Amino acid sequence: MEIINKIKQFCFVALRIKKYEMMSDCERVIGKPIKYNPLLLKGKGIISFGKNVQIGVIASPNFYSHYTYLEAREECSEIIIGDNVAINNAFSIECSSKVVIENDVLIGVNCSFIDNDGHDLAIEKRNIGSPKTARIHIHQNVFLGSNVTILKGVTIGKNSIIGNGSVVTKNIPENVVAAGNPAKFIRNL
């Protein structure tokens, strides 16, 4: 039985991780995360990992079917992930300016951070204009539930919790629980 598990691990995990390493094109990567799940690093910017950053969770949804996507799109774009950050499966960051995740942050399944509008919002410029961007900052010891989306310009204060399925459009203070679409204050911790 042990040999079968090793074969499964190699075929369904190790080869996928290697494939996404080969498809990654970001050349400005600092640090080395612990990969339990595939990680695709894209863009011209900087992607920085602190110590003990975990990518993927074995006993969690989307382990065999999804990957983590980090894109520091422009040369001036920067993604900074601190120490002891645990990122669950199917996570993505689309960064045009700056995304900072401080130490000891927990991120649930299928979360995404987008620090830009994707396209210019003006109708006549939608396909040719430059989208607005604003940095995202996740402070120390924040816990994001599953299916959370963080939009441009958001800061989440230390120790706060964001409930499952939330869309965070405005800053969240420290030491609170927030949830909803859009996310709102629920209670103090």
Cα dihedral value 155, 157, 162, 166, nearest 10: -20
SS3 state at 10: helix
Q: How many CB atoms neighbour CB 71 within 10 A?
A: 21
Question: Contact, 142 vs 158, CB < 8 A?
Answer: yes
Residues recognised as catalytic: 119
CA-to-CA distance for 2 and 6, rounded, in angstroms? 6
CA-to-CA distance for 83 and 71, rounded, in angstroms? 19
Show the CA angle centred on residue 109, arms to residues 117 and 74, nearest 5°. 35
Beta bridge partners of residue 68, listed in sequence order? 39
